[in-house]
Amino acid sequence: MANFPFDIIGFDLDGTLLDTHRDLAEAVEHALGDGGCTPMAVDHAKSLIGGGAKLMLAKAIEEQGGLPEEEFRKLYKHMLAYYGQYCAVWTAPFPHASDVLATLHERGVQLAVIRNKFEGFARNILNQLGLMDCFKALIGGDTLGKGRAKPAADPIIAARDRCGGGRMAYVGDSSWDVAAARAAQVPVVVAGYGYNDKPAGDLDGDAVIDSLVELVPLLESW
């Protein structure tokens, strides 16, 4: 469809395209166990997601009183090693994700993933799910270097450049996503079904969707 209003759509991964919370929770649990900490309920992981794996683990440990920096670094390494092996055991696309990606591709839209966790993990997950070929660009929290992940505008701008430029919109589920989109002057859709760090309507997005099935009609109306 030639008249689609956007050339590029960027997506956050965790809580937006993919339901990743169980695999992330089990990686955090592994690290907590190594540190002798109290186990965490799997569903509680949803409230910790956002800002990258290091911040997620830091939040979980802080809830239990914290640890010295040296011990935290050791547990963080254990978490990353575990997640690297088991990052796609339970992870799956949210309902309608594959159809939405296919529809956008049919309309000639370039697609990008922009997440704060490591690029290598995202690439591994997307390859295991057979989705990597859908995306022209993949920007992780480590792709551009220290200090250049969301909420900075840099990853969204980099994704836009790697997709050839043009009018872009972004879809995410957290305040980190909205802040990055605002900084890049890109319209942002909030995934209200995701791992919102505050009520979806309070995230200051341009619109909120309760399911990915709503995304394409919304974008077509802009």
What residues are labeled active site? 12
Q: How far apart are CA 139 and CA 11, in angstroms?
A: 10
Phi, psi of 147 (to 5 degrees): 80, 5
SS3 165: coil
Contacts by 92-98, CB closer than 8 A, 24 or more apart: 92/18, 92/19, 92/129, 93/17, 93/18, 93/19, 93/129, 93/131, 94/16, 94/17, 94/18, 94/19, 94/193, 94/212, 95/211, 95/212, 95/213, 96/211, 96/212, 96/213, 97/17, 97/18, 97/212, 98/131
Q: How far apart are CA 25 and CA 209, in angstroms?
A: 25
Q: How far is CA 55 from CA 118, 123, 166, 220, in A?
A: 12, 20, 33, 36
